[in-house]
């Protein structure tokens, strides 16, 4: 018996209002060998309490997860009462994190697809392949219906009650977290797929509202925009006021079922040309009361895009937000000719350290830098040539101290720019760009256009990408072709600057 101390409830018609939380002592996760499911184990041998807890869970699920209607009557069956959805939501919210994992595992395993029924439908479909098309199509529809998890109907009805959609978004965020830690739970993974499918329908672009955020927007919304900013943290109220002020735009997608909650946020700088550093955008401002001179605005720089809801991971919102914002800006500034991101390169420094370690193991340390570059590093660090100099270089890069030496900054620029170009262009996962930001923009049809040295000199920028940033440029007439080439053929469209750096890296590294 899977045992877990749950919320002890007194059942009545209003049981959900009478729940009392009991403390959970010494709760730890374990894997049940007999059913290969995640369960909870309490260091308390009181079997009566454990059985009572399980009965409470099972009774709640029996009441709220109704059986699938028969295929013939599926369109005529009355919907379950809203109280089922409310009971389910209330019960789940009062569970601790470990208990939620157990609860979701049981829900996904016991109330999923009727595998025996689905197998029977599949056999029937195979047996009637010689029949007429109408009969085959109906059998296919029956099979499709039989593959519906029972819990899917509960989730669909939860979305119809107040706060239900937000509940499901948060629920999927927890399912994603659990599946990342529990590798042997196919039922949880199937629950995640079902939730993603439902959320993708509910959050399709046609149901989203584009909203421009200004200083006149509600204070609560501005506060959320500040809190959700994941790329370049907002320092104070003056900072956020400037980011929505003159020569700046801030847009978000919202959904009617989650009022006041930005789903994905895009920050834009309006400039004369394509920016090559973030300091000029987030640290150097015009006055707050400045009047925009339209003739000075020729370029839109997308310098920050943040998804705010972990539960919407994999639901494509950022791509559509950029496209909608481009149309919005073209309407406001018909003469605007250039659209580009100014993007961070998360993960570059971590990848670089691993790359250097591998080269050291292979005895190829001297191949990475030219003789002149090595001499500069050796003199600046006092290390002898070869592996020792490479170790000293790795230490400098890890600490960020190299950036305080003008000599090292000059010496390392060509080396780091070469490797960064290769990281973005040549390092792949399943044929696509390893870097997640690169993969996002390349999927959208952008061009890997320009690497920028000393583009983010903040401690965070130095630590994440050695201060390098990249422009992904959107040539509007080419995005469709570029996107197709990347998604279908795994071809990255890149500028001459990037390709030249890649070629230099390959020559130096003998790739």
Q: What is the band of 28 on the pLDDT scale with cuts at 50, 70, 90?
A: very low
Please report the pLDDT score of residue 385 as a whole number: 67
Please report the pLDDT score of residue 47 as a whole number: 61
Check pLDDT > 80 for residue 508: no
Q: What angle (nearest 5°) sits at the alpha carbon of residue 351, between those of residues 349 and 354? A: 110
C-beta of residue 155 within 8 angstroms of C-beta of residue 168: yes
Choose, from 37, 85, 340, 343, the residue flagged as catalytic. 343
Summarize pLDDT for 408-424 with one digit per residue, the tens: 898 899 999 999 999 99
29 forms beta bridges with 40
Choose, from 157, 187, 267, 441, the residue flagged as catalytic. 441
Check pLDDT > 70 for residue 120: yes
Enumerate residues 6+ apart whose C-beta is below 8 A from 165: 159, 202, 255, 257, 258
The CATH classification number of 208-341 equals 3.40.630.150
Neighbours of 132 (CB within 10 A): 8
Please report the pLDDT score of residue 389 as a whole number: 78
Neighbours of 383 (CB within 10 A): 19
Summarize pLDDT for 283-307 with one digit per residue, the tens: 766 666 778 889 999 999 999 999 9
Please report the pLDDT score of residue 217 as a whole number: 94
255 forms beta bridges with 208
Summarize pLDDT for 153-196 with one digit per residue, the tens: 999 999 999 999 999 999 999 999 999 988 788 999 999 999 99
Summarize pLDDT for 308-327 with one digit per residue, the tens: 999 999 998 999 999 999 99
Strand order in the sheet with 338-341: 208-212, 248-255, 264-271, 299-307, 338-341, 469-473, 447-452
DSSP 131: S
Please report the pLDDT score of residue 38 as a whole number: 41
Enumerate residues 6+ apart whose C-beta is below 8 A from 151: 65, 107, 108, 111, 112, 191, 194
Check pLDDT > 80 for residue 454: yes
C-beta of residue 378 within 8 angstroms of C-beta of residue 407: no
Q: What is the band of 17 on the pLDDT scale with cuts at 50, 70, 90?
A: very low
CA distance 317 to 266: 11
Enumerate residues 6+ apart whose C-beta is below 8 A from 274: 299, 301, 338, 340, 342, 449, 450, 471, 473
> Quick check: helix, strand or coil at residue 126?
helix
What is the chain's Cα-based Rg? 28
Match domain 60-113+148-202 to its CATH number in 1.10.10.10, 1.20.140.90, 3.90.1150.30, 3.30.420.40: 1.20.140.90
Summarize pLDDT for 172-181 with one digit per residue, the tens: 999 999 999 8
Check pLDDT > 50 for residue 27: no
> Quick check: helix, strand or coil at residue 468?
coil
With pLDDT > 90 as the criterion, what percentage of the chain qualifies?
61
Ordered by start, the domain boundaries in the chain are 60-113+148-202, 208-341, 348-509
φ, ψ at 20 (rounded to 5°): -125, 125
Q: What is the band of 22 on the pLDDT scale with cuts at 50, 70, 90?
A: very low
Please report the pLDDT score of residue 71 as a whole number: 85
Q: What is the mean pLDDT of residues 4-27?
A: 36
* Domains 60-113+148-202 and 348-509 belong to one CATH topology: no
**Cα 380 to Cα 367, 399, 409, 414, 469, distances in angstroms:** 19, 15, 11, 16, 25
C-beta of residue 91 within 8 angstroms of C-beta of residue 7: yes
**Cα 274 to Cα 452, 471, 486, 498, distances in angstroms:** 11, 8, 24, 16
CA nearest to 302, candidates 328, 351, 290: 328
Share the mean pLDDT of the chain: 86
Summarize pLDDT for 205-217 with one digit per residue, the tens: 899 999 999 999 9
CA torsion through residues 234, 239, 242, 244, sign: positive
C-beta of residue 366 within 8 angstroms of C-beta of residue 347: no
CA distance 364 to 509: 9
Please report the pLDDT score of residue 79 as a whole number: 82
Q: What is the mean pLDDT of residues 70-89?
A: 86
User: Catalytic annotation on 441?
Assistant: yes
Weakest-pLDDT range from 265-274, 349-358, 378-387? 378-387
Quick one: 348-509 is in which CATH superfamily?
Malonyl-CoA decarboxylase, catalytic domain (3.40.630.150)
User: Catalytic annotation on 115?
Assistant: no
211 forms beta bridges with 252
Summarize pLDDT for 462-504 with one digit per residue, the tens: 999 999 999 999 999 999 999 999 999 999 999 999 999 999 9
Please report the pLDDT score of residue 427 as a whole number: 97
Q: What is the mean pLDDT of residues 54-79?
A: 82
CA dihedral 181, 182, 183, 185 (to 10 degrees): -150
Please report the pLDDT score of residue 383 as a whole number: 67
């Amino acid at each position: 018996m899977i045992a877990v101390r749950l919320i002890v409830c007194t059942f009545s018609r209003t049981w959900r209002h009478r729940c009392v939380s009991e403390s959970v002592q010494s709760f730890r996760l374990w894997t049940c060998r007999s059913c290969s499911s995640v369960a909870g184990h309490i260091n308390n041998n009181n079997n009566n309490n454990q059985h009572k807890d399980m009965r409470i869970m099972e009774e709640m699920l029996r009441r709220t997860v109704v059986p699938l209607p028969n295929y013939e009557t599926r369109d005529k069956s009355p919907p379950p009462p809203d109280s089922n959805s409310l009971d389910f939501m209330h019960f789940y919210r009062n569970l601790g994190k470990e208990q939620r994992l157990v609860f979701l595992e049981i829900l996904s395993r016991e109330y999923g697809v009727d595998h025996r029924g689905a197998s029977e439908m599949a056999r029937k479909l195979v047996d009637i392949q010689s029949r007429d098309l109408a009969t085959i199509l109906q059998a296919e529809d029956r099979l499709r219906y039989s593959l519906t998890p029972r819990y899917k109907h509960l989730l669909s009805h939860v979305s119809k009650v107040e706060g239900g959609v937000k509940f499901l978004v948060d629920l999927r965020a927890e399912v994603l977290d659990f599946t990342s830690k529990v590798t042997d739970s196919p039922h949880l993974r199937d629950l995640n797929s079902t939730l993603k499918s439902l959320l993708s329908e509910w959050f399709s672009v046609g149901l989203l509202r584009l909203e421009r955020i200004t200083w006149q927007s509600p204070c609560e919304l501005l506060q959320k925009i500040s809190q959700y900013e994941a790329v370049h943290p907002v320092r104070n109220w003056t900072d956020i006021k400037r980011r929505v002020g003159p020569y700046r735009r801030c847009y978000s997608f919202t959904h009617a079922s989650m009022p006041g909650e930005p789903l994905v946020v895009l920050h834009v700088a309006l400039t004369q040309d394509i920016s090559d550093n973030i300091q000029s955008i987030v640290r150097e401002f015009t006055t707050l009361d400045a009047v925009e001179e339209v003739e000075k605005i020729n370029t839109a720089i997308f310098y920050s895009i943040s998804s705010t809801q972990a539960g919407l991971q994999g639901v494509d919102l950022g791509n559509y937000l950029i496209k909608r914002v481009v149309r919005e800006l073209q309407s406001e500034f018909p003469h605007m000719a250039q659209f580009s991101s100014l993007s961070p390169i998360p993960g570059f420094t971590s990848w670089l350290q691993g790359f250097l370690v591998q080269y050291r193991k292979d005895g190829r340390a001297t191949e990475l830098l030219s003789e002149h570059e090595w001499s500069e590093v050796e003199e600046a660090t006092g290390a002898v040539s070869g592996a020792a100099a490479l170790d000293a270089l790795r230490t400098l890069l890890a600490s960020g101290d190299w950036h305080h030496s003008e000599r090292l900054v000059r010496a390392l620029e060509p080396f780091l720019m070469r490797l960064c170009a290769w990281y973005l262009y040549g390092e792949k996962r399943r044929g696509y760009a390893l870097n997640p930001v690169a993969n996002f923009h390349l999927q959208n049809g952008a061009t890997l256009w320009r690497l920028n040295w000393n583009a983010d000199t903040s401690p965070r920028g130095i630590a994440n990408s050695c201060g390098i940033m990249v422009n992904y440029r959107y040539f509007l007439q080419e995005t469709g072709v570029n996107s197709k080439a990347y998604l279908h053929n795994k071809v990255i469209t890149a500028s001459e600057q990037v390709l030249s750096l890649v070629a230099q890296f390959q020559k130096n590294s003998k790739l």
